[in-house]
Amino acid sequence: MSQSIPIHGASRTVSNTYDLSTSPTMTFNSPPSSFKMRQQVAASAKTLKPFDTKDIKVLLLENVNQTGQDILRRQGYQVEFLKGSLPKEQLIEKIRDVHVIGIRSKTKLTAEVLKEAKNLIVIGCFCIGTNQVDLQYAAENGIAVFNSPFSNSRSVAELVIAEIIALARQLTDRSMELHNGTWNKVSAGCWEVRGKTLGIVGYGHIGNQLSVLAEAMGMKVIYYDVVNLMSMGTATQVPTLKALLESADFVTLHVPELPETKNMIGAKELSQMRNGSYLINASRGTVVDIPALIDAMRSGKLAGAAIDVFPHEPAGNGDYFNNDLNKWAEDLRSLKNLILSPHIGGSTEEAQSAIGIEVADALTRYVNEGTTLGAVNLPELALRSLTTDEPDHVRVIYIHKNVPGVLRRVNEIFADHNVDKQSTDSKGDVAYLMADISNVNTDEIKGLYQSLEELSSKIKTRVLY
């Protein structure tokens, strides 16, 4: 596909693949601290031509917050917004066309889907988890992936605190009974949380927040993590999952979805938990073996549980929580003192608004400038913006296979120009190179692009100017 793009007043036809350049002067809302390099932008930073932002197509799924939509629309991009996720066939149809896609935890961007996405340069996960994306395939095909690593952590931690107290007091059962007209005032099996032990599995951003909040309520906190981590307050790290399960009154899971965390809590682990203890899962649905949990609840081994995430979750809101979705759903629904919630851990106004800004900013920086700070599957690089004093400069973004000899060949292609600044780094089999080169006249841009594209190491080339 080709398009007409004015360059410094002239007009020329160039390939879409090297067309993504706009202004280095854009303003950011609450940039995360990792973006400090952006602050070095000179006052004379120029609006880069010739890229026409309205050619950039963005597909936003799963009700991405208005803040994110606004930032992307303000850039002039064509933004299509959908409230839910899409079934695979429709997703494939839509993704063929777009340069940018924004998703949350439901949309599965597998290799099968991504291979259809010929124009896609970047994926924004407007959430923490990136397990729904084939990160390796994306990197090997030059597609950057960004997420929001901690904007909803506090929301999850607060939900878990609410659930700890609600479980200890059988609050949701009492509420459901009274909704049905039954007054059932009981104290048997209801407890204060003060002095009880909370066991946190996965002591990352969410685990940390939770640790502080739980101690403020007088709970003793222990945690298990594969990494040796500094404790918050007086929490203590325990050496094994078994040690945690044997000592905790409440066990809460905050690990990512990984092969090692699949069914991390199954029949064996449930049998290691204390009699009458509680389990909370707001991580990913694959982490708990739900039929084993149902058995542990029925036998009275567990006094309660709260589950926010499920192996299969519906694409949108509606009456979907039945055995067609997950074959044990109706058994689960029949259990007492079991809090079921529809993956709402991160669903607060504060979290969604902050995520919208953070991820949309990262997408914009990547599209317009090639900056990968915060990317989860590519090396993290940034270069100082070009300025109005540098009219004949271009920025080359070259994503390539991490094999010997590439830099020599690339610099041979740059040889007739001055390389003002260059940065390169690799992550596994994929490397990312950014270079600002000067003394490039408009007729030479296409040649530069084509020479880079012809290298056998090429994954994706973009020339921004």
Ligand X SMILES: O=C(O)C(=O)COP(=O)(O)O
Ligand Y SMILES: NC(=O)C1=CN([C@@H]2O[C@H](COP(=O)(O)OP(=O)(O)OC[C@H]3O[C@@H](n4cnc5c(N)ncnc54)[C@H](O)[C@@H]3O)[C@@H](O)[C@H]2O)C=CC1
Both structure tokens of 201? 């599995």
The pair phi, psi for residue 210, each rounded to 5°, is -65, -40
Residue 173 site contact among ligand Y, ligand X, none (CB < 5 to 8 Å, cut-off depends on kind): none
Contact between 129 and ligand X per CB under 6 A: yes
DSSP 3-state percent helix, strand, coil across the chain (nearest 5): 35, 20, 45
Cβ 442 to ligand X shortest distance, Å: 43
- The residue among 50 and 102 lying less far from ligand X, judged by its C-beta, is 102
| HSE-CB of 269 using CA atoms within 13 angstroms | 24
Distance CA 99, CA 77 (A): 10
Cβ 307 to ligand Y shortest distance, Å: 10
Distance CA 407, CA 404 (A): 8
Contact between 254 and ligand X per CB under 6 A: no
The pair phi, psi for residue 123, each rounded to 5°, is -120, 130
Contact between 343 and ligand X per CB under 6 A: yes
Contact between 104 and ligand X per CB under 6 A: yes
Contact between 354 and ligand X per CB under 6 A: no
Nearest to 19 by CA among 51, 60, 46: 51
Interaction residues for ligand X, span 143-172 (CB under 6 A)? 152
Both structure tokens of 357? 């800004």
- The residue among 104 and 417 lying less far from ligand X, judged by its C-beta, is 104
Binding segment toward ligand X, per CB under 6 A, in 42-50, 123-131, 273-281, 450-458 = 123-131
- The residue among 347 and 388 lying less far from ligand X, judged by its C-beta, is 347
Instruction: Please select the residue that binds ligand Y; options are 255, 354, 376, 463, rule is CB under 6 A.
Output: 255
Contact between 125 and ligand Y per CB under 6 A: no
Contact between 346 and ligand X per CB under 6 A: yes
Contact between 343 and ligand Y per CB under 6 A: yes
Interaction residues for ligand X, span 69-98 (CB under 6 A)? none
Give 435-453 as a DSSP string. EEEES--GGGHHHHHHHHH
Q: Which of 274, 343, 393, 400 is catalytic?
A: 343
Cβ 132 to ligand Y shortest distance, Å: 10
Contact between 198 and ligand X per CB under 6 A: no
| HSE-CB of 125 using CA atoms within 13 angstroms | 28
Interaction residues for ligand Y, span 154-213 (CB under 6 A)? 156, 201-207
The pair phi, psi for residue 281, each rounded to 5°, is -125, 105
Cβ 158 to ligand X shortest distance, Å: 14
* Cβ contact 275:301 at 8 Å: yes
Both structure tokens of 128? 């923490």
Cβ 161 to ligand X shortest distance, Å: 17
Q: At what angle do helices 349-369 and 153-168 cross, to 10 degrees?
A: 160
- The residue among 76 and 129 lying less far from ligand X, judged by its C-beta, is 129
Residue 104 site contact among ligand X, ligand Y, none (CB < 5 to 8 Å, cut-off depends on kind): ligand X
Strand pairing partners for 14?
3
Instruction: Please select the residue that binds ligand X; options are 347, 353, 422, 438, rule is CB under 6 A.
Output: 347
Binding mask 369-408 for ligand X (x = CB under 6 A): ----------------------------------------
Binding segment toward ligand X, per CB under 6 A, in 28-36, 121-129, 194-202, 332-340 = 121-129
Give the residue nearest to ligand Y (CB). Answer: 204
343 catalytic? Reply is yes
Cβ 190 to ligand Y shortest distance, Å: 26
Contact between 128 and ligand X per CB under 6 A: yes
* Cβ contact 52:31 at 8 Å: no
Distance CA 62, CA 222 (A): 35
* Cβ contact 131:256 at 8 Å: yes
Residue 1 site contact among ligand X, ligand Y, none (CB < 5 to 8 Å, cut-off depends on kind): none
Cβ 154 to ligand Y shortest distance, Å: 10
SS3 at position 47: coil
Nearest to 52 by CA among 101, 4, 2, 98: 4
Strand pairing partners for 133?
109
Length of the chain: 465
Distance CA 296, CA 11 (A): 70
Nearest to 292 by CA among 264, 312, 270: 270
Q: Which of 177, 313, 390, 453 is catalytic?
A: 313
SS3 at position 305: strand
Cβ 128 to ligand X shortest distance, Å: 3
367, containing H or E segment: helix 349-369
Contact between 58 and ligand X per CB under 6 A: no
Q: For binding to ligand Y (CB under 6 A), which residues are involved?
A: 128-129, 152-153, 156, 201-207, 224-227, 254-258, 260-261, 282-284, 308-309, 343, 345-346
Binding site for ligand X (CB under 6 A): 104-106, 127-129, 152, 343, 346-347
Which residues carry out catalysis? 284, 313, 343
